[in-house]
Amino acid sequence: MRKPLVVGNWKMNGSRLSVSELLAGIVSGSTELNGIEVVVCPPYPYIPQVESLLKESRISWGGQNLSAEAKGAFTGEVAGLMLRDFGCKYVIIGHSERRSLYFESDQLVAEKFVAAVDAGLIPILCLGETLSEREAGITEQVVARQLSVVLDKVGVAELAKSVVAYEPVWAIGTGKTATPEQAQDTHAFIRNKVLELDAGVGSHLQILYGGSMKPSNAEELLNKPDIDGGLIGGAALESEAFLSICRAAVNA
Ligand code: PGA
């Protein structure tokens, strides 16, 4: 049985004030969230604030990115051990915004996966196709390629230390959600790829859906057999919306 996981990706949003208000709301509603794991991923400067506000709570936190390097002369970069130093448990790897806006290649994403595991973080590995790739009918080829570059580098046993997030790029921040059936099909495809290599890893792997998940569609998505949670952007910035998605995960 896979534990549902709901992750809020705040992206480049927030202030000291909004972080404390948002977390106050989430923490007060979190007592009813039994049987699931809840995570927030703030921008780097707010991680110490999040740590101090969440350390007595049942909510975990993580980074949105990390360097592939462990330390040294890499101006502007943040190492996995620094995230660990501030209590991060997770880190998002290969988000489509990193891949497209900051030109992160499949290879770099695989290196970041290694850096995350080496630092003791759980990578949330994002996979997903663009609109033109979906329209060309190559969704499965794209996610298979993105996954296989990581698998070739680390092996299937290491994948057991991670979480996968399927995020169709055309659904991120656009208000367009993959239908529950479209999402389920790709989740099942990803799981089968891993099952072929290792039945134990494949059956335990948590695969999250991301892309305009919100209170109105969360229940239907989260009730699909291979959707084990959500990676939430916009709706993670409002405590009531985020909690409502968390409650849908509890009930799924
Ligand atoms: P969204 O973002 O929920 O705003 O579509 C999801 C994500 O990018 O992780």
Q: Which tens digits make up the pLDDT trace of 85-102?
A: 999 999 999 999 999 999
Q: What is the CA radius of gyration of the chain?
A: 17
The pTM score is 0.97
Ligand 1 residue neighbourhood (C-beta within 6 Å): 9, 167, 172-173, 210-213, 231-235
Q: Model confidence over 224-234: pLDDT tens digits?
A: 999 999 999 99
- In 3-state terms, what secondary structure has residue 16? helix
Residue type (1 letter), 170: W
User: Could you tell me the distance, in angstroms and rounded to a whole number, from the CA of residue 100 to the centre of ligand 1?
Assistant: 14
How far apart are the CA of 236 and the centre of ligand 1, in A? Answer: 9
Kindly give the distance from the C-alpha atom of residue 103 to the centroid of ligand 1, in angstroms, as a whole number.
19
225 torsion bin: left (phi>0), alpha (psi -120 to 50), beta (else): alpha
Q: Which atom of ligand 1 is nearest to the CA of 214?
A: 3
The residue whose two tokens read 């989740």 is: 187
Which three-class secondary structure string do you get for 44-107?
HHHHHHHHHHHCCCCCEEEECCCCCCCCCCCCCCCCHHHHHHCCCCEEEECCHHHHHHCCCCHH
Assign 3 a pLDDT band (cuts: 50, 70, 90).
very high
Mean pLDDT, residues 107-124: 98
The per-residue pLDDT for 175 is: 84
Closest atom of ligand 1 to CA, residue 165: 9
CA distance 197 to 205: 12
**Which residues are known to be catalytic?**
95, 167
